[in-house]
């Protein structure tokens, strides 16, 4: 959808213009809000991506999870089948850099079933207050989240929140969006 592509590219440009100091402060606020949610406190296993430089930093969240004894699973995409699976991550040394500079788990890591993931932190570029999002355009998360029964949460900088995003039939919303300014309940 062309409208999504235009919005996605504009937001990525805006995100890249945030200063290091702004980003650091907002990341700290987001981590604080994440760790105070019921979903975080109850989760034994979380699914979370390794962030790109312009996204909310996820390494701090991953380290916090490890520190609390939570199991962390990160996604690996398989472009030939357009599928994605989650694999356990116990150390940042268990990663490889793939296409577009994305960090993914080594294929030798333990695969974690969808049912074992208590919470999935769903990435995106723009988020609407109703829980729908503009992702990166590959559709990996929308396919993976079909029939997923756990909690779906997104983390974002406040500038990524919009009143509306274009919705397609296959799009799957999240139930909560955590920003540096607020926690949005989308249900």
pTM of the complete model: 0.94
For residue 55, the domain's CATH number is 3.40.50.10420
- Tens of pLDDT, residue by residue over 49-59, are 999 989 999 99
CA pair distance 156, 54, nearest whole angstrom:
11
C-alpha torsion sign, points 55, 58, 159, 161: positive
Range of weakest confidence among 20-29, 138-147, 150-159: 138-147
CA pair distance 177, 168, nearest whole angstrom:
19
Which among 172, 100, 176, 99 is positioned nearest to 140, based on CA atoms?
172
- Tens of pLDDT, residue by residue over 101-115, are 889 999 899 999 999
What's phi and psi for 163, nearest 5 deg? -70, -30
Number of domains in the chain: 1
Domain of residue 32 covers 2-185
- Tens of pLDDT, residue by residue over 57-114, are 999 999 999 999 999 999 999 989 999 999 999 999 999 989 878 899 998 999 999 9
Please give the annotated binding residues, written as ranges.
Answer: 4-8, 50, 55, 133-141
Is residue 1 predicted with pLDDT exceeding 80? no
Please give the annotated binding residues for ATP, written as ranges.
Answer: 4-8, 133-141
The pLDDT value given to residue 23: 95
Please give the annotated binding residues for substrate, written as ranges.
Answer: 50, 55
Angle at 127 between CA 121 and CA 128, to 5 degrees: 125
């Amino acid at each position: 959808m062309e409208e999504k592509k235009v919005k996605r590219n504009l937001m990525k440009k805006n995100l890249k213009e945030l200063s290091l100091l702004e980003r650091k402060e907002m990341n700290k606020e987001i981590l604080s809000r994440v760790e105070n949610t019921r979903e975080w406190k109850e989760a034994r296993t979380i699914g979370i991506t390794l962030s790109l430089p312009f996204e909310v930093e996820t390494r701090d969240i991953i380290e916090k999870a490890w520190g609390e004894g939570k199991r962390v699973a990160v996604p690996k995409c398989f472009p030939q089948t357009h599928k994605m699976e989650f694999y356990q991550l116990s150390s940042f040394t268990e990663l490889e850099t793939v296409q577009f500079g994305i960090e993914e788990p080594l294929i030798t890591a333990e695969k974690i079933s969808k049912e074992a993931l208590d919470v999935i932190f769903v990435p995106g570029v723009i988020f609407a207050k109703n829980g729908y999002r503009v992702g990166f355009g590959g559709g990996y998360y929308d396919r993976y989240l079909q029939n997923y029964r756990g909690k779906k949460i997104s983390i974002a900088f406040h500038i990524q929140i919009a009143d509306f995003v274009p919705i397609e039939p296959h799009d799957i919303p999240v139930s909560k969006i955590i920003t540096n300014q607020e926690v949005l309940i989308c249900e």
